[in-house]
A and B are shown apart, each in its own frame.
Chain A
Amino acid sequence: MIDQIDLGQVNWARAQFALTAGYHWIFVPLTLGLSFLCAFFESIYVRTGNEEWKTLTRFWMTLFAINFAIGIATGIILEFQFGTNWSNYSWMVGDIFGAPLAIEGIFAFFIEATFFAVMFFGWNRVSKRMHLFSTWMVAVGANLSALWILVANGWMQNPVGMKFNPDMARFEMQDLWAVISSPVAISHFSHATSSGFLLASLFVVAVSSWFLLRGRHLLFAKRSIAVACVFGLFSSIFVAYTGDEHAFITVKTQPMKLAAMEGLWDGKSPTGLIAMGIVNGNKKPGDDQPPFLTSVEIPGLLTLMAHRKFKGFVPGINDLVSGNVGQGIEGVDTKIERGRLAVSALGDYKAAQKAGNEDLARSALAMFDQNRGDLGYGYLQSPAEAVPPVALTFYAFRLMVIVGTFFILLFVLYLWQSLRGGLEKNRFLLRLGVISLFLGYAAQQAGWIVSEVGRQPWAIQGMLPVSVARSNLDSATVATTFFIFLALFTALLIAEVKIMTKQISIGPEGA
């Protein structure tokens, strides 16, 4: 029996989730990074006893508070969406996500309720050291909160430490440590949080550059830039390192995503990396069309990224879709066959249990167990469905990498100018610093596009496609809430920008 899949509803639900996550990630990375920068600034104040550093700390803390207040709880809407739009998924992962999200909630509540209050209300009330300790705890706590969310996301990209229970239709946790220590989860966490540090550094540089361009608060701005540039430079190098590590892991856990990121249709050994190119949007798996209308390739670099050496095969989309016997790669059609056996066996198991036929239930369960590893493929209509949107993934990846590399250069330039003196005279660099903040936000969004669009069609890699994860709702309902969110988040963003710019224009004295 074929249930009609309402792709319109799935796409509205996906668009709504993407919109919410995209807006949420405007606020989160700044919170993650600015909390640490505030801790650095305050550490200098406590160490030197110089009241100017206290004023500086309080200014950046005020901006941190604005961002935190506007952004807080925007992520909860994602949880609403799980329950309404993605109820099958929500039910199936409840056992896996319950623990990480509960820990996140406890961390967030206790740290934010106690240390956050000391951080803002405790000036002149608690001792300097206690206040500094609170500021550090807010920074550590905010980043630990992110850990649990990213562990959950990492599990979706690489489902480990679980077993599917066919009686309850749930993935059940078998090994919490395997979930937490999954290389995908760790690399997600380290890449996402360090990118937050980078963005916050850009934020401090941009605001301080604006002060320098206006000829205001010169010493304050130069001090802020000096600290932010050091943090930003280390962060941007670490972002590049974790990004490379992430690609190295992706080739093993999500080879289709890596192939889409690189626009690689036919694997080679060694394989070059397309530095820049125009994707042929009409190309389909198995056809003879060229993958790019034009491209610039760096020979052997993709093999080096994937294998840490210049030898080795990197599978392309065609290899993964149709299989490559020579390289021992199974095609999607074989996985679809096994997946359909698993789905069929699941149905037989359920029917046999209802009928009270234990022998039939046992044999159906054995058949399911044999094929459960490819369960999700049983829901694909054709092998081509296993291919994510190539052009969007490819371009988003390039935007992230190119802009990320530029940031390393930008921080080096700023540091060099700061050390030489006369930073305030280099108006070109200062303007570039202001503009770079927007590039930073673009890179953040591009990173999530690579991560989430690149893993389509899966809600849970290989186990559950988005078309099955959804609820039985009509498109109009989901479309309506999409526009409500669009309005709500846009209003919040306008509020943030307005309050933030007003506070910045007041300057450090108003903190």
Chain B
Amino acid sequence: MTKLVIFKGEGATVDCLLNRFFRMYVDGFRSMVLGRTLWTIILLKLFIMFVLLKTFFFPDFLGTKFSTDGERAEHVLQNLTQRSPR
């Protein structure tokens, strides 16, 4: 049976494995070239979406107007019973 080797020349201990995983992330982020641009775009996009858009333009309509689920259900039920063209 062949042994699954995760890291090249890996040691046997869990600590060693975790350390190597950690180093892989650190070195990976450090050595990025195109990745830096892509991460900048991702972070800028997340800032625009979660900080600007979500805060100022996309409040949770029911979450902000009502404090309990009962009130929210009441509001939706009111819409459901009053929007019929009957």
Taking Cβ atoms with an 8 Å cutoff, the residues of A that contact B are 1-3, 5, 62, 65-66, 69-70, 72-73, 76-77, 80-81, 83-84, 87-88, 90-92, 117-118, 120-122, 124-127, 129-130, 166-170, 339-340, 343-344, 346-347, 350, 378-381, 467-468, 471-473, 480-481, 484, 488, 492, 495, 499, 503
Contact = CB atoms under 8 A, between A and B. Distances in A.
6 contacts: A87-B60, A92-B76, A117-B25, A117-B28, A130-B6, A343-B80
Interface in B10-56: 20, 24-25, 27-29, 34-35, 37-39, 41-42, 45-46, 48-49, 53-54
Contacts of B54: 80
A117 B62 CA distance: 38
B53 A80 contact: yes
A408 B65 CA distance: 53
B83 A467 contact: yes
B65 to A, nearest CB: 9
Nearest to B27: A121
B28 A379 contact: no
B73 A169 contact: yes
Contacts of B48: 488
Nearest to B50: A76
Contacts, number: 147
Contact of B81 (A73, A126, A343, A499): A343
Given A5-B83, A121-B25, A76 B76 contact: no
Given A73-B46, A87-B76, A91-B72, 10 more contacts: A3-B82, A80-B54, A84-B60, A91-B76, A120-B28, A121-B27, A121-B29, A346-B80, A379-B84, A381-B85
Q: In terms of DSSP, what is the predominant structure of the interface of chain B?
A: helix
A350 B35 contact: no
B35 A88 contact: no
Nearest to A89: B76
A76 B46 CA distance: 10
Given A88-B80, A127-B5, A346-B80, A121 B24 contact: yes
A380 B86 CA distance: 9
Across the A-B interface, the 7 shortest Cβ-Cβ residue pairs: A121-B28, A87-B61, A347-B81, A69-B38, A80-B58, A169-B76, A343-B84
A65 B81 contact: no
Contact of B77 (A84, A90, A169, A484): A169
Contacts of A169: 73, 76-77, 80
Contacts of B7: 125-127, 130
A84 B61 contact: yes
A112 to B, nearest CB: 12
**Chain B interface bracket (under 10, 10 to 19, 20 to 34, 35 or more):** 35 or more
A85 B67 CA distance: 19
B66 to A, nearest CB: 10
A468 B83 CA distance: 7
Given A129-B4, A503-B34, A481 B57 contact: yes
B37 to A, nearest CB: 7
Contacts of B57: 84, 480-481, 484
Given A125-B8, A378-B84, A484-B53, A69 B28 contact: no
Nearest to A70: B41
Interface of B: 4-8, 20, 24-25, 27-29, 34-35, 37-39, 41-42, 45-46, 48-49, 53-54, 57-63, 69, 72-73, 76-77, 79-86
Given A70-B41, A73-B45, A2 B85 contact: yes
Contact of A122 (B24, B46, B60, B69): B24
A139 B81 CA distance: 46
Contacts of A70: 38, 41
A351 to B, nearest CB: 9
A176 B28 CA distance: 40
Contacts of A118: 24
A180 to B, nearest CB: 26
Given A83-B58, A379-B85, A69 B41 contact: yes
B42 to A, nearest CB: 5
Contacts of A379: 83-85
A279 B25 CA distance: 57
B21 to A, nearest CB: 9
A347 B80 CA distance: 8
Contacts of B4: 127, 129-130
Given A3-B83, A81-B58, A72 B6 contact: no
Contacts of B79: 3, 88, 468, 472
A52 B25 CA distance: 26
A499 B37 contact: yes
A130 B5 contact: yes
Given A66-B38, A468-B83, A117 B24 contact: yes
B8 to A, nearest CB: 6
Contact of B58 (A92, A343, A344, A481): A481
Nearest to A385: B85
Contact of A1 (B6, B25, B37, B82): B82
A126 B73 contact: no
Contact of A90 (B29, B49, B62, B84): B62
A91 B77 CA distance: 11
Contacts of A484: 53, 57
Contact of A69 (B8, B42, B59, B77): B42
A69 B36 CA distance: 11
Contacts of A5: 83
A120 B35 contact: yes
